Amino acid sequence: MNLEELRRLREKAQRDMALRTEHQRFRIKVSMGTSGLAKGAREVMDAMVNEIEARQLNDIEVVVTGSSGLEELEPFVAVEEQGQTPVLYGRVDTPTAKKIIAEHVVGGQKVTTHIVQRQRAEEVQ
């Protein structure tokens, strides 16, 4: 091994371990309370994790949260991008989950069909 090879190996290893050291560019929260789980949050989460893996993305963390209290719109997925207003998606199913990764996280285009408006959320509550 020479120094150049070591540096390359280090960069690769650092990418694999990135999750542990700093906060990522994207934080995706899947609400997995009882009602979320009942409405398929588990499958949504699997779909997202698989999509992230398939696309080899590594600046994302996927976090599980509890119920939001707004059971009707479960499962929720919140996408928080550093420096941006968080976007909340409701009634997410597996195709939508994949779409969120593909269009929002990778493409930068929000999936407007499933966005839960902050205002509306407050009204319902």
> Between residues 58 and 94, which has the closer beta carbon with respect to other proteins?
58
Shortest separation between residue 45's beta carbon and other proteins, angstroms:
8
Q: Do 39 and 73 contact (CB within 8 A), yes or no?
A: no
Per-residue mark of binding to other proteins, 106-125 (x: CB under 8 A): --------------------
How far apart CA 63 and CA 103 sit, in angstroms, is: 19
Q: Which of residues 61-80 bind other proteins (CB under 8 A)?
A: 61-66
> Between residues 10 and 120, which has the closer beta carbon with respect to other proteins?
10
Buried/exposed 87-124: b ≥16 CB within 10 Å, e otherwise: bbbbbbebebbbbbbeebbeeeeebeebebeeeebeee
CB-CB neighbours of 80 under 10 Å:
19
How far apart CA 88 and CA 31 sit, in angstroms, is: 11
> Between residues 1 and 108, which has the closer beta carbon with respect to other proteins?
1
Binding interface with other proteins (CB under 8 A)? 1-3, 6-7, 9-10, 12-17, 19-20, 23-24, 27, 30-34, 37, 42, 46, 49, 52-53, 56-58, 61-66
